[in-house]
């Protein structure tokens, strides 16, 4: 007797669950998907395009004020060269792409003309004493362990955001002043 009463109840519950799942539209036109379907559409959405570059091992030198540098490895994920032409960050009023050159035995930073070119399927290293991203007129202290967001702009106008963690670093004492010749 109990089996006869449970079977119709289970069937009714299954029918109700099917009806509820089929009526997932609200009055606003949005649909409700199952967690598996939602996960699938989020990871396989055609609107989600892979960035042409990524940044590996990103870090920024901790600084109380003034200026600092950001470093890491730019990785080109495409089959064509990609050029980074500029950068910006909420951590600094001005951001420039720099290179370090040695003239007369002194290392000096200067703006990298033409930007950073990353070869097809290749990398371009940003490191102290070489190419780097210079954050100038810091908007506040950058303490060790702080995450700093940086946006790179590519030659085609595409932007790529990445986060660099701040850490202590005592090296790379290049000069930013223009080359001055002292006459004695």
pLDDT 10s digits, 52-78: 999 999 999 999 999 999 999 999 999
d(CA 130, CA 75) in angstroms, rounded, equals 17
Confidence of residue 105 (pLDDT cuts 50, 70, 90): confident
> How many other β-carbons are positioned within 10 Å of the β-carbon of residue 41?
12
- What's the pLDDT at 170? 81
Topology of the domain covering 53-167: Immunoglobulin-like (2.60.40)
Q: What is the pLDDT of residues 25-45, one digit of tens each?
A: 333 333 333 333 333 323 333
In angstroms, the Cα distances linking 134 to 56, 79, 109 are 17, 28, 9
For 53, residues 6+ apart whose C-beta sits below 8 A from its C-beta are 74, 75, 76, 77, 82, 84, 118, 152, 154, 160
What is the β-pairing status of strands 132-138 and 159-167? unpaired
Domain extents for the chain?
A: 2-24+33-43, 53-167
Separation of first and last alpha carbons in the chain:
113
Q: What is the pLDDT of residues 117-172, one digit of tens each?
A: 999 999 999 999 999 999 999 999 999 999 999 999 999 999 999 999 999 998 75
Task: Count Cβ atoms within 10 A of the Cβ of residue 117 and give its class: 0-12 exposed, 13-18 middle, 19 or more buried.
Answer: middle
Please tell me the number of Cα atoms within 13 Å of 10 on its side-chain side. 6
- What's the pLDDT at 50? 83
Instruction: Give the mean pLDDT of the chain.
Output: 76
Rg (CA), the chain: 27
Q: Which two tokens stand for residue 120?
A: 């097809």
């Amino acid at each position: 007797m109990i089996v006869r009463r449970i079977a119709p109840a289970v069937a009714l519950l299954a029918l109700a669950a099917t009806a509820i799942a089929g009526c997932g539209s609200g009055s606003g036109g949005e649909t409700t998907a199952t967690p598996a379907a939602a996960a699938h559409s989020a990871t396989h959405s055609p609107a989600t395009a892979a960035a042409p570059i990524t940044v590996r091992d990103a870090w920024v030198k901790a600084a109380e004020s003034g200026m600092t540098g950001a470093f890491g490895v730019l990785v080109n994920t495409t089959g064509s060269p990609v050029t980074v032409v500029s950068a910006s960050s909420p951590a600094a009023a001005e951001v420039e792409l720099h290179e370090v050159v040695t003239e007369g035995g002194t290392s000096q930073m200067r703006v990298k003309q033409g930007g950073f070119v990353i070869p097809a399927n290749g990398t371009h290293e940003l490191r102290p004493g070489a190419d780097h991203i210079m954050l100038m007129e810091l908007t506040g202290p950058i303490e060790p362990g702080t995450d700093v967001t940086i946006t790179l702009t590519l030659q085609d106008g595409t932007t790529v955001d990445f986060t660099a963690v701040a850490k202590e670093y005592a090296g790379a004492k290049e000069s930013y002043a223009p080359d001055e010749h002292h006459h004695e």
